[in-house]
Chain A
């Protein structure tokens, strides 16, 4: 596993920067990891949140130590996405524990559990290969609750000597969970979706859609200068087209998530469409658009922001696949129709 598509931290020869030293155990030395983030960890977190190097941000799977764990220290399980691992080790500052990192191809616990890579099979195999059973005396594993879609606790109990306790959703609740004798409160078990949770997801989408946005922008700038007699593109036109596309891109991607709980409607396509309507009204109010141009800009903005809203279902923590399918069934044809009519109107407005 190590050496496959890795950053320098995975190199088997060179010690990763977040490894302090090692702890002696009956199975040999186990790497002890730092519980404070360095600037590198913070920088890495920002980069992957922006979609840069996200698929290579991994730690080698296996057993690690935090603090000075003994045979009675708790065993925590996590994924080998470095951001997941970093949150666990940071939360455990000042505490002693063993961490078993599963190979999830660098995907976070929840996504990997949904896809089965953070699953019973990998957990059982990793417990075996990392020889945890010889390192600790007790037989309790703390598996993150969000790993439960992939892990069948009863199957782990049948296949290994360990029994599973589901830990809190957020790593920051780990100390309180451990202090309480490995008991979660109802609040620790609930997934939230705060303003900050929603906003940290937006840079990735902005980066991902930058090139499509530039292509759309080029299309509209190129067609803006069409005319009955000649091709004439003024600077003002170019600026307003850029502003219209830019506002849809920015507000469709950032404002819909930010205002999510307050936007009317339950479907994400509806929430996005409302943001699109607001963007369109601002553009038509302040911009130099004629009636046909204005109408077209309106239809296109509603469709674009509605589609961007629909895309955000993938980042949300509460949308079901059945629900998304049901809204896609009406939203996608509607968005397509609006785009066709809107674009036809935009072209027609050049000639009338």
Chain B
């Protein structure tokens, strides 16, 4: 299953990459491969912007504006409804009920 084309914010700076391969390990959609001891983006459109690769990149070679691909969450955030369990910026989509503020 593939989602929309050319929408994701994933960027790789190959010059900064140290070739540790962590991104290959953490990516849930097999977006990366190693070529010439450095990471390459193979399937950019398969990226779901979970942010695992960027979070685990010691060299800071990866950028992705991570977020949850959830229409209800995005809509709630736009309407100013956020919930405690999901942090301030991202409103909840899947798992919050009203009153569950922590």
Seen from chain A, the residues whose Cβ lies within 8 Å of a Cβ on chain B are 54-55, 105, 107-108, 110-111, 113-117, 145-146, 148-154, 166, 169, 184, 186, 189-191, 193, 260-261, 266-268, 310-311, 313-328, 332
Within 8 A of A (CB), among B49-75: 49-52, 55-56, 58, 65-75
Q: Can you pick out 15 interface pairs between chain A and chain B where the beta carbons lie within 8 Å of each other?
A: A111-B95, A115-B87, A145-B26, A148-B52, A266-B5, A314-B71, A317-B28, A317-B48, A318-B29, A320-B4, A320-B48, A321-B69, A321-B74, A322-B65, A323-B7
Residue A166 contacts which of B9, B26, B86 (CB distance < 8 angstroms)?
Answer: B26
Query: In the complex, what distance in Å separates the CA atom of A267 from the CA atom of B71?
Result: 12
A313 touches B71 (CB 8 A): yes
A322 touches B8 (CB 8 A): yes
CB distance from A130 to the nearest CB of B (A): 21
Using Cβ atoms and an 8 Å threshold, which residues of chain A touch B49?
Answer: 320-322
Known interface pairs A314-B94, A320-B48; 17 further A-B residue pairs with C-beta atoms within 8 A, sorted by A's residue number = A55-B96, A55-B97, A115-B68, A116-B87, A146-B28, A154-B56, A169-B28, A189-B27, A191-B29, A310-B71, A311-B72, A314-B68, A315-B94, A322-B8, A322-B9, A322-B67, A323-B3
Indicate with 1 or 0, residue by residue over B13-50, a CB within 8 angstroms of chain A CB atoms: 00000000010011111100000000000000011111
Query: In the complex, what distance in Å separates the CA atom of A280 from the CA atom of B82?
Result: 35
- Listed from nearest, the 6 A-B pairs whose CB atoms lie closest are A314-B70, A321-B67, A319-B69, A148-B52, A314-B93, A148-B26
B95 touches A319 (CB 8 A): no
Residue A115 contacts which of B26, B52, B85 (CB distance < 8 angstroms)?
Answer: B85
A105 touches B85 (CB 8 A): yes
Query: In the complex, what distance in Å separates the CA atom of A5 from the CA atom of B67?
Result: 28
B1 touches A149 (CB 8 A): no
CB distance from B11 to the nearest CB of A (A): 12
CB distance from A351 to the nearest CB of B (A): 34
What's the dominant secondary structure at chain B's contact region? loop
CB distance from A261 to the nearest CB of B (A): 5
Q: Given contacts A154-B58, A266-B2, A310-B71, are A166 and B51 in contact (CB under 8 A)? A: no
Query: In the complex, what distance in Å separates the CA atom of A116 from the CA atom of B86?
Result: 8
Seen from chain B, the residues whose Cβ lies within 8 Å of a Cβ on chain A are 1-5, 7-9, 22, 25-30, 46-52, 55-56, 58, 65-75, 85-87, 90, 93-97, 100, 102
Nearest A residue (CB) for B87: A115
Query: In the complex, what distance in Å separates the CA atom of A320 from the CA atom of B74?
Result: 11
Using Cβ atoms and an 8 Å threshold, which residues of chain A touch B70?
Answer: 313-314, 319, 321, 324
B94 touches A115 (CB 8 A): no
Q: Given contacts A323-B69, A325-B74, are A153 and B85 in contact (CB under 8 A)? A: no
Nearest A residue (CB) for B59: A154
Using Cβ atoms and an 8 Å threshold, which residues of chain A touch B69?
Answer: 313-314, 316, 318-321, 323-324
Using Cβ atoms and an 8 Å threshold, which residues of chain B touch A145?
Answer: 25-26, 28, 52
Nearest A residue (CB) for B52: A148
Using Cβ atoms and an 8 Å threshold, which residues of chain A touch B30?
Answer: 186, 189-190
Nearest A residue (CB) for B30: A190
Residue B1 contacts which of A184, A261, A311, A322 (CB distance < 8 angstroms)?
Answer: A261
Residue A314 contacts which of B4, B5, B9, B72 (CB distance < 8 angstroms)?
Answer: B72
